[in-house]
C-alpha cells in the first residue's frame, strides 16, 4: 500500500505551495515514484509544479457523457484510454488532475471518478500526495479517506487556525481513516503566540512546525515561476523539509 498524504486548509493559506514542496522533498529524498493528485476543482497544482495539463478526469468523463466514443470501442476502454492520457509524467512523479465537475453545483461524479482511478493506480506508486480543495467540502464528501497523514495548513490568523481545527474535528467525526493529523502554520513572521499554541494543544492535534514568510517565494508566485524550483537553501524549503523529515515515513 502507498504512503498517502492529503493536504487541506482554508483558501489562501498556501496549501498548494506546500503540496509542491512536499513533491520536491519526496523526489529529493529518493522516495519515488510519487503520484501527485490535484483534487481541487480550481486546479493549479500543475502551476506550482511547472507542468502543462491538457486532459483531466473531469474532461474525460464529459466526453464519455456526450457519447464521444470511437466506433468499435467500448465506453470502458475509451474511459481507460482517456484516464491514462490524463496522467502527466515528470521526473520522479506523475500528476493527475480531477478538473471541473459536470454541470453546475455537483461534484459527486467527478469525485467518484477520481476515487476509482486512484484505486487503480495505488499499486504503482509508493507515495501519493493529494492537494484538496479549500475548506471542508472534500472531507464531508469523503474525497479524502484512508490516508496516512492529513496535513492541515493554516496561516497565522485566528480564523485560519479555527478553520484548520474544524477540518481536523470533522475528519475525526466522520471516521474517514486518517492515520495522523498535523497542522502547519504558514507565512510566519514570528513564533506562534501562547494563545495559538494552547488552541492547538486543546484540540489534541500535533503542530508539525511553521514555515516563514519569504520574499523569494512571493516573487516566484508573482512572476508565475513554479515554486518547486525554489533553491534548497531557501528558508521556506529548509523549514518545509525539516517538517517533512519528522512526519514522512
Q: For residue 44, what are the contacts with CB-CB under 8 A and spacing of at least 6? A: 16, 38
Cα 215 from chain centre: 23
Q: What is the pLDDT of residue 142?
A: 42
User: Which structural domains are found in the chain, ordered by start?
Assistant: 3-247 (3.40.50.300)
Determine the Cα–Cα distance for residues 241 and 243; give it in Å rounded to an integer: 5
Strand (E) or helix (H) holding 179:
strand 178-188
Q: Is the CB of residue 107 less than 8 Å from the CB of residue 40?
A: no
Q: What is the pLDDT of residue 85?
A: 84
Question: C-alpha grid cell for residue 97?
Answer: 488532475
Q: What is the pLDDT of residue 158?
A: 87
Question: C-alpha grid cell for residue 176?
Answer: 474517514
Half-sphere exposure (Cβ direction) of 12: Cα atoms closer than 13 Å: 6
Q: For residue 191, what are the contacts with CB-CB under 8 A and spacing of at least 6? A: 210
Determine the Cα–Cα distance for residues 154 and 76; give it in Å rounded to an integer: 41
Q: For residue 132, what are the contacts with CB-CB under 8 A and spacing of at least 6? A: 6, 7, 8, 15, 39, 40, 138, 143, 144
Alpha-carbon distance values, 26 to 5, 82, 203 (Å) = 11, 28, 29
Q: What is the pLDDT of residue 247?
A: 96
Q: What is the pLDDT of residue 140?
A: 47
Question: C-alpha grid cell for residue 82?
Answer: 482517456
pLDDT by residue for the chain (249 residues), tens digit each?
Answer: 889 999 998 888 999 999 999 999 999 999 999 999 898 877 899 999 999 998 887 777 777 666 667 777 776 677 777 778 889 999 999 998 887 655 554 545 545 655 666 677 777 899 999 998 876 565 545 455 688 999 999 999 888 899 999 999 988 887 778 899 999 999 999 999 998 999 999 999 999 999 999 999 999 999 999 999 999 999 999 999 999 999 998
Determine the Cα–Cα distance for residues 141 and 224; give it in Å rounded to an integer: 32
Burial (CB count <10 Å: 0-12, 13-18, 19+), residue 89: exposed
Amino acid at each position: 500500500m502507498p504512503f498517502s498524504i492529503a493536504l487541506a486548509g482554508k483558501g489562501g493559506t498556501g496549501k498548494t505551495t506546500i503540496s509542491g514542496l512536499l513533491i520536491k522533498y519526496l523526489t529529493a529524498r529518493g522516495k519515488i515514484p510519487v503520484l501527485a493528485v490535484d483534487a481541487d476543482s480550481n486546479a493549479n497544482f500543475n502551476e506550482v509544479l511547472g507542468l502543462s495539463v491538457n486532459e483531466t478526469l473531469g474532461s474525460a468523463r464529459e466526453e464519455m457523457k456526450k457519447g464521444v466514443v470511437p466506433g468499435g470501442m467500448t465506453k470502458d476502454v475509451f474511459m481507460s484510454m482517456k484516464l491514462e492520457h490524463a496522467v502527466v509524467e515528470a521526473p520522479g512523479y506523475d500528476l493527475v488532475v480531477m478538473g471541473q465537475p459536470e454541470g453546475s453545483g455537483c461534484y459527486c461524479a467527478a469525485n467518484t471518478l477520481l476515487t476509482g482511478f486512484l484505486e487503480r493506480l495505488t499499486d504503482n506508486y509508493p507515495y501519493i500526495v493529494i492537494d484538496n480543495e479549500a475548506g471542508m467540502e472534500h472531507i464531508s464528501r469523503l474525497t479524502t479517506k484512508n490516508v496516512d497523514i492529513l496535513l492541515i495548513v493554516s496561516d497565522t490568523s485566528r480564523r485560519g487556525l479555527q478553520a484548520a481545527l474544524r477540518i481536523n474535528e470533522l475528519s475525526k467525526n466522520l471516521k474517514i481513516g486518517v492515520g495522523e493529523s498535523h497542522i502547519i502554520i504558514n507565512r510566519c513572521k514570528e513564533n506562534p503566540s501562547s494563545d495559538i499554541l494552547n488552541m492547538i494543544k486543546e484540540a489534541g492535534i500535533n503542530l508539525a512546525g511553521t514555515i516563514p514568510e519569504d520574499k523569494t517565494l512571493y516573487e516566484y508566485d508573482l512572476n508565475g515561476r513554479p515554486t518547486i524550483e525554489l533553491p534548497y537553501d531557501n528558508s521556506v524549503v529548509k523549514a518545509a523539509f525539516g517538517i517533512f523529515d519528522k512526519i514522512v515515513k
